[in-house]
Structure 1
């Protein structure tokens, strides 16, 4: 999950599931609305029970995830492994009997990490400390000159402290940011936004505390965003422990870091979105689309982020087909490409839809891990996406509050919540019978900005940010039972949305990178 593309205006407020759990202060949860039975629960009970029973007994989805993670592995955009996964995904859809299976060509960036290392040196009255740092270069970063960079450290907690420094205090030095842990939104704001403002004052490089609350000497990568008006400087994430060590030592005396990074860009590579369908029986032109992103970072196995998402959504669609259920509208599964460091797949899908955007009935993205699901998130009505990095000299905005004002909804939006609370009545047996205001994801951001209703699973979110973007994002982190519950919930929701007479309401916004 890169949390890089599809930042929304307040009109859209498109939070991802993971964002719902942790975009604000750690531990915050969006409000959960309980199920309220209505005509949809009565009409679809029999079909839903069949889906739930089949999903909870199904082992194929998890087996597919195991193959993807163990045998194909990490799938960075531009890598041979990604294109192997794309071809495998298309064949998987064909074998499942889905219709109109295709690979939509998409050109993706090819960033190469190369060798990298960092070492800290402190010389004080009590002696010298030299030790390697636990680090991972940030995606799309430039590398250091051959032989690396050796420079003094400037330690700051936040942008306010940094902006108070003069250019002379920063020029030629390595800036270390440690904003603490205040949720992923704040952490990723420093990861993506510290390079430009540091370069503007002449910094040689940037090191950022990893965007996680877990301290286990595990660095977290993720993409950055360079300011095209400034020089591009090498940037890396360091572990929580190392960030705190630098903070302590910097209070005692001068700290120096030697940084070496071979990171570089190569020409774009052809990859693709993987698409398959169950064609609607009455309104085939109308589409409920669901999926996740097939690419991952080049560390770990991309198991939670986002192998679990594409395999749970695929199995959700596959089960509907296996059970012989024929919804009135088309159900489309998409494995989007290049979510982590570019968003090319989501943009290409929007271009492919063209002027048929009004036929996109709903978009469901699973990109927050397959932890225990609590229910489904719907629409742009809860917490805002994480704030964009402030411009130099401007104060960093706090994440928007998570309050939900039902009275501000339109009549169509209120009716949509009635529909959703009715639908989740079908999910009581698996414990996912709630609706939360807020749902979406980066890949569906471009179509959701044009008014397509957005949904995403709402999970407990206990450990997702401990694992994602790290070497620890491996299959063993995905609990089979939780995976099945996510699959079951997605399958029932997608099927009912594709077959019911009514439609959900969406909100238009502005997607930007």
Structure 2
């Protein structure tokens, strides 16, 4: 009996010694620094989904495969509460795409259909082209002046670090076709909303106002738009044959993928971190937005290596962002009334974060200053700009929650946005890791903040 108790005592002593020898959890700062130098999780996600799934157009079988892949990956990486929250949506798919100048200066051009474009029919349509150097010129065109013509809308988008050129040039795509159709145009072509000079047209959604019958709409590559402008400079009428045969397939299934790192007090409002899982179908959606999903997941997993956070960190991999924020709206509707501590989204590529914006810089200055100081070592500057949040943060906006924007360098983003060039080789692993480091630091601070944050710019 004595030897039995002696053995038990020895085992207890060994267990106590082992426990005391276990290293303490890494500090948040150490975790963020480690992510900067060593993270492989974000790259693993982006490389995996772009290789094994590829393009993930909203509402299609490919998007469904992307959801299944993401669920499996999240579970394999230790996330809790992984599930799909389904919803229905209206789905559009592209068909044949051709544009050619006929008659004077005859030659083919590179074009892609815009989302929600109507079809020309298989035979295509041929019409004279009316040139508008800017969207404002189209606005000024008299009612009925485009009857029977194809409208061509150009612009002068330039690269900017903050992506502000998109707001300047975007209306040509967002509402240009509707405006042209309201003035009689039978179709619309635009200069691609992009900043590169490759012969790779940029797709993206267009919308038609209530009462305006949708017409065929496409985007020319920037070199082809340049060429078309040179043709007009020669002073002769230009005719184009346009063949676009997309189709609206009606209601289909989509869904949001959600997961979490459960906090010590799950009753507290969570930190909501978001990205979107769908992509356009021309490239593989590496920049827009597999990188965003990889970044937020890697940061959450990195935080989980340390002390368990006070608040739950909830991940939202939104579906169907590209064709109308279907996932963001569905998530907000399904969770209406739920409080959110703070919301952040990564959806501007994978280049480095350079600025920290919030909607509480003035109302919670001590917290903002703590965040700004914590990320200064990553080359992130403070800001007085008011954060408005990514497209998939409808719930955070509707609940008037704290919102942050971790502004990424957008200088080359619109070279790749919505093009066939949105592929894995465009992701810089070093800058990707900088994103994970900054996100780890910021989300870790927010998830351990006991007090509610009052927005107020």
Q: Is TM (by shorter chain) over 0.5?
A: yes
Q: Structure 2 residue aligned with 1:419, among 353, 356, 367?
A: 367
Gap change, CA 1:228 and 1:238, over 3 Å in 2: same
Match of 1:170 among 142, 146, 166: 146
In 2, Cα distance between the equivalents of 1:446 and 1:151? 45
**Cα shift readout 1:23-66 (whole Å, capped 9, x = no counterpart):** xxxxxxxxxxxxxxxxxxxxx99322233214521213202211
Q: Is the 8 A contact 1:377 1:457 kept in 2?
A: yes
Match of 1:56 among 37, 41, 51: 37
| Deviation for aligned residue 1:377 | 2.5
1:213 matches 2:210: no
Q: Distance in 1 between the 2:455 and 2:107 partners? A: 53
Please name the residue that 2:85 is paired with. 104
Q: Show the 5 A alignment for 1:250-329.
A: 250-251=232-233, 252-321=235-304, 323-329=305-311
* 8 Å Cα contact 2:400/2:455 also seen in 1: yes
* Equivalent position to 1:454, from 396, 399, 403: 403
Q: 1:192 aligned to 2:174?
A: yes
CA displacement 1:173-213 (0-9 Å, x = unmatched): 00000122251112111101112221112111000111122
After TM superposition, the score normalised by the length of structure 2 is: 0.88
Q: Quote how far apart the aligned CAs of 1:76 are.
A: 0.3
Q: Does 1:150 find its partner at 2:122? A: no
For residues 417 and 151 of structure 2, what CA distance do their matches in structure 1 show? 25
Report matched runs for 1:333-372 at 5 Å: 333-356=315-338, 359-372=339-352
Aligned counterparts of 2:353 and 2:65: Cα–Cα separation in 1: 30
TM-score (norm 1): 0.79
Structure label with greater radius of gyration: 2
1:208-242 CA deviation, whole Å, 9 max, x = no partner? Answer: 11112222222111100111211111000112222
Q: 2:382 aligns with which of 434, 449, 459?
A: 434
Shift of 1:366: 0.5
Distance 1:456 1:309 in 2: 13
Q: Could you tell me how far apart the structure 1 residues matched to 2:36 and 2:90 are?
A: 36
Q: Using a 3 Å threshold, how does the CA distance of structure 1 residues 180 and 146 change in structure 2: closer, same or farther?
A: same
Q: Which has the higher contact order (CA 8 A, sep 6+)?
A: 1
C-alpha distance in 1, partners of 2:381/2:146? Answer: 53
Q: CA deviation at 1:413?
A: 4.8
| TM-aligned CA deviation for residue 96 of structure 1 | 1.7
Question: Is contact 1:448-1:506 (8 Å) kept?
Answer: no
Cα 1:313–1:139, aligned 2, differ >3 Å: closer, same or farther? Answer: same
The aligned counterpart of 2:212 is 230
Partner of 2:137: 161
Distance in 2 separating the partners of 1:50 and 1:179: 45
Pick which of 307-316 and 442-451 moved more: 442-451
- Aligned-partner SS, 2:27: helix
Q: Does 1:67 align with 2:67?
A: no
- Say if 1:204 and 1:446 are closer, same or farther in 2 by CA, change over 3 A: farther
Which consecutive unaligned segments of at least 5 residues does structure 1 have?
1-43, 124-128, 380-411, 509-513
Q: Number of matched residues?
A: 425
CA contact (8 A) 1:365 1:443 kept: yes
Contact between 2:31 and 2:302, CA under 8 Å: does it hold in 1?
Answer: no
Give me the whole-angstrom Cα distance separating, in 1, the residues matched to 2:282 and 2:35: 34
Match of 1:134 in 2: 110
How far apart are residue 446 of structure 1 and its match?
4.3
Which segments of 5 or more consecutive residues in structure 2 lack a partner in the other structure?
A: 1-24, 159-164
**1:458 Cα deviation from its structure 2 partner:** 1.3
**Distance in 1 separating the partners of 2:191 and 2:424:** 25
